[in-house]
């Protein structure tokens, strides 16, 4: 379906699925979102990462046209989701935080009902529903009532439902909240496949691992403000640190501690009994390790254990907000 077919007068901004400009949302005297600015590229998985109550769902609801901004504006493929709601709605597929399925209907009926709602022609409906059930790996449960499904199965069905009318932009609000690892992996694959089909995805999560594994870019929000926006790799390189931990057979001497501090790339050294912890600056750990091993050898220090920890998004979050995601 061509966007131009639906509204010939509305220019479609190439490259941007979503543009958010100076978005502020107040609930009475409480400011839930404050001056948010960002855009989502066509064909990317964009993550909104933040602790509970930071404003993720509020942002998503406004972009999806389910809630109005107090000030500022959003555009979805150049459309105003409130004023051009019919056209915008056809471009979007929403999986809300609380998966609103009809519990007393079967999986197949839930999808068929949605297909009717979105005006999918009768002759295409059955085929499309079948395809979506296969994608969600629920074909064998097509005739079962949703009330008998596990949390993970319901999530998968909700995602299948959101994709049924072939949207260009998919909203996933905490897609793996409370599901087991098996369903989580299935959902992750499903999300990647959806992106690879050329769709754009806005995903909210408060799982750092999920943001790291899935997102092309991440916006960290805290108290309704955008803290940072970048790729997971850049965030980790800019705000995280690699740490090398070396345990020797004997206690670390002050001399060795001092020598280690002279190694290019080593930012700080922490010594405790036989263990050295070296925090690296903005360097590749692979460039530092050979040098370290050579020095240890020269000093006659025998290594018992050596481990390398890559920078994590946990650290990034801590560095930028001063606390952990679940404090
Ligand atoms: N309809 C509303 N009326 C009043 N306050 C609201 C309303 N909706 C959200 N809020 C408040 O706005 C803030 C942001 O809520 P929001 O649901 O967007 O957070 P969230 O990041 O999605 O959190 P969670 O991780 O718990 O889903 C919270 O403090 C919430 O209490
Ligand atoms: Mg939420």
Hey, what domains does the chain have and what are their CATH numbers?
A: 3-231 (3.40.50.300), 241-310 (3.30.70.2470)
Ligand number with the minimum distance to the CA of 50 = 1
> Does the Cβ of 25 fall within 6 Å of ligand 1?
no
Q: What is the mean pLDDT of the chain?
A: 89
Ligand 2 mean position, distance from CA 205 (Å):
8
The DSSP element (H or E) to which 134 belongs, if any, is: helix 122-135
pLDDT-derived band at 285, boundaries 50, 70, 90: confident
Question: What are φ and ψ of residue 231, in 5° steps?
Answer: -75, 155
Ligand 1 atom nearest to CA at 25: 12
Residue 310 has pLDDT above 90, yes or no: no
Residue 286 has pLDDT above 90, yes or no: no
216-246 pLDDT, tens digit each: 999 999 999 999 999 999 999 888 888 899 9
Ligand 1 mean position, distance from CA 53 (Å):
5
144-179 pLDDT, tens digit each: 999 999 888 999 999 999 999 889 999 999 999 888
Number of Cβ within 10 Å of residue 154's Cβ equals: 20
Q: d(Cα 289, Cα 226) in Å, to the nearest integer?
A: 36
Q: Which of 59, 66, 95, 96 is nearest to 82 (CA)?
A: 66
Residue nearest to atom 9 of ligand 1 (CA): 58
Print burial letters for 189-210: b (CB count within 10 Å at least 16), e (below 16).
ebbeebbeeebbbbbbbbbbeb
pLDDT-derived band at 327, boundaries 50, 70, 90: low
> Does the Cβ of 33 fall within 6 Å of ligand 1?
no
Any idea what the Cα angle at residue 68 is, between residues 86 and 23, rounded to 5°?
A: 115
> Does the Cβ of 48 fall within 6 Å of ligand 1?
no
Q: What is the pTM of this model?
A: 0.84
Concatenating the DSSP letter of every residue in 75-117 gives EETTB-TTTTHHHHHHHEEEE-SS----TTSBHHHHHHHHHHH
Q: Is 307 left (phi over 0), alpha (psi -120 to 50) or beta?
A: beta
> Does the Cβ of 54 fall within 6 Å of ligand 1?
yes
Q: Which of 213, 200, 288, 249 is nearest to 3 (CA)?
A: 200
């Amino acid at each position: 379906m061509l966007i131009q077919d639906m509204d010939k007068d509305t220019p479609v901004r190439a490259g941007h699925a979503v543009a958010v400009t100076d978005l502020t949302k107040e609930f009475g005297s409480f400011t839930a979102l404050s001056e948010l600015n960002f855009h989502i590229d066509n064909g990317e998985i964009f993550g909104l990462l933040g602790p509970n109550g930071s404003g993720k769902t509020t942002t998503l609801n406004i972009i999806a046209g389910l809630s109005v901004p107090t000030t500022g504006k959003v555009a979805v493929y150049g459309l105003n989701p409130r004023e051009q709601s019919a056209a915008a709605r056809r471009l979007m597929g929403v999986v809300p935080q609380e998966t609103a399925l009809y519990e007393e209907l079967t999986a197949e009926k839930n999808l068929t009902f949605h297909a009717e709602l979105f005006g999918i022609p009768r002759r295409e409906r059955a085929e499309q529903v079948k395809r979506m059930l296969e994608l969600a790996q629920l074909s064998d449960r097509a005739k079962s009532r949703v009330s008998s499904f596990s949390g993970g199965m319901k999530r998968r069905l909700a995602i299948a439902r959101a994709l049924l009318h072939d949207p260009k932009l998919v909203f996933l609000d905490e897609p793996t909240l409370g599901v087991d690892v098996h369903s989580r992996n299935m959902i992750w694959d499903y999300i990647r496949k959806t992106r690879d089909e050329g769709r754009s995805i806005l995903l909210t999560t408060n799982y750092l691992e999920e943001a790291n594994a899935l997102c092309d870019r991440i916006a960290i929000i805290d108290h309704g403000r955008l803290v940072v926006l970048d790729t997971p790799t850049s965030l980790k390189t800019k705000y995280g640190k690699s740490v090398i931990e070396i345990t020797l057979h004997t206690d670390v001497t002050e001399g060795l501690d001092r020598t280690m501090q002279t190694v290019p790339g080593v930012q700080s050294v922490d010594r405790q009994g036989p263990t050295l912890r070296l925090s690296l600056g903005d360097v590749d750990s692979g460039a530092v390790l050979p040098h370290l091993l050579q020095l240890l050898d020269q000093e006659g220090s025998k290594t018992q254990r050596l481990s390398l920890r890559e920078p994590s998004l946990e650290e990034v979050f801590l560095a930028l907000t001063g606390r952990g995601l679940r404090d």
